[in-house]
């Protein structure tokens, strides 16, 4: 019927998910690469850029289809003295690595220049490093997800994590909860506490494929990465090991997420849950503000609610 507000799934033409690197980085979707500062996220990402721009296999041996273009947008390092030398050290083809000129007007995740650059360069990967430097107030992450989908481009968001808020690693330092919700893949980089020179990259969310194995790597003394291949890793145990040392406020944030991630709860119940782990009301209020928890009144009681994905 013309003008109908519905359609039947029988009329939908199915299509497979395409991958930049199966099963870690899907094309046309958002991927988050997160970890504590200093764990090698940027170096890891630049190595992936080198591989896709030169057609080299991925670290686990997965083949790359042709030589692709990447856009690498970094807010923390100089283009001439840091980023280009690091790309060259990684072996990237700099003729296939672009960046968006943002000297006069700061770039944000909702900037139209992102889609223009992706279209003009036919980029297969757009990397933001770090995401915290590009998030505008009241960011709508769905807009960026739509850009990725329209252009079949893998958008990779590198995020620094606040140490210790370990009950829900997806929400550690990402700026807003809807980023973790909209991202189809979330990858973690952390080090082996028993062998501090070894890092692991492993998925903590994989919506489009079975979770891939951890990939182990270390750094060369003169710079660059040494890959140690796939690793049979107990990621839950590893996550526990990197979140043991926490402040009271970090424990409060973690407990709040645990209490509210599935349903809204009465304020009295929330305060009681935080009191059980030794967190007082002042710290609770600070954690509440940091997580952007909202409140509303229902049935004579006040309820607390985490921000909902947009």
**Does the pLDDT of residue 245 top 50, yes or no?**
no
Selection from 192, 134, 141 nearest residue 158 by Cα: 134
Helices (H), 91-241: 112-121, 141-151, 177-182, 235-241
Average pLDDT over residues 265-280: 83
Q: Which residues pair with 229 in a beta bridge?
A: 216
Please enumerate in sequence order all residues whose Cβ is within 8 A of that of 81, keeping only pairs 6 or more positions apart, or say none: none
pLDDT value of residue 241? 54
Give the residue-averaged pLDDT of 211-236: 84
Looking at per-residue pLDDT, the higher value among 67 and 291 belongs to: 67
Residue-level pLDDT at 243: 46
Helix (H, G, I), strand (E, B) or coil at 14: coil
166, pLDDT greater than 70? no
Q: What is the pLDDT of residues 105-153, one digit of tens each?
A: 999 999 999 999 999 999 999 999 999 889 887 778 899 999 999 999 9
3-state secondary structure of 43: helix
Q: Which long-range contacts (CB under 8 A, 24 or more apart) does 289-294 make?
A: 290/249, 290/253, 291/171, 291/177, 291/253, 291/256, 291/257, 292/176, 293/256, 293/260
| Residue 219, helix vs strand vs coil | strand
With cut-offs at 50, 70 and 90, classify the pLDDT of residue 2.
low
């Amino acid at each position: 019927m013309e003008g109908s507000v519905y359609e039947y799934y029988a009329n939908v033409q199915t299509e497979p998910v395409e991958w930049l690197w199966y099963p870690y980085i899907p094309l046309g979707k958002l991927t988050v690469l997160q970890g504590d500062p200093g764990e090698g996220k940027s170096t890891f990402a630049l190595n992936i850029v080198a591989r896709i721009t030169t057609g080299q296999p991925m670290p686990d041996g997965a083949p790359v289809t042709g030589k692709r273009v990447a856009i690498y947008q970094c807010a923390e390092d100089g283009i001439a003295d840091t980023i280009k030398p690091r790309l060259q050290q990684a072996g990237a083809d700099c003729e296939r690595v672009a960046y968006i000129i943002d000297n006069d007007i700061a770039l944000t995740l909702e900037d139209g220049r992102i889609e223009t650059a992706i279209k003009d360069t036919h980029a297969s990967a757009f990397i933001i490093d770090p995401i915290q430097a590009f998030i505008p107030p009241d960011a709508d992450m769905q807009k960026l997800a739509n850009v990725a989908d329209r252009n079949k481009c893998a958008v990779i968001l590198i995020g620094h994590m606040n140490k210790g808020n370990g009950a829900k690693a997806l929400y550690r330092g990402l700026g807003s909860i809807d980023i973790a919700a909209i991202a189809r893949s979330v990858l973690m980089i952390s080090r082996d506490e028993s062998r501090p020179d070894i890092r692991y990259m492993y998925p903590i969310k994989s919506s489009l494929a079975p979770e891939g194995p951890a990939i182990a790597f270390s750094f060369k003394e003169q710079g660059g990465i040494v890959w140690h291949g796939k690793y049979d890793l107990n990621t839950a145990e590893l996550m526990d090991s990197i979140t043991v040392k926490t402040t009271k406020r970090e424990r409060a944030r973690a407990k709040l997420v645990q209490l509210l991630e599935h349903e809204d709860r009465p304020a009295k119940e929330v305060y009681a849950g935080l009191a059980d782990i030794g967190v007082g009301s002042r710290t609770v209020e600070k954690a509440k503000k940091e997580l952007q928890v909202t409140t509303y009144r229902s049935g004579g009681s006040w309820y607390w609610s985490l921000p909902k994905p947009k």
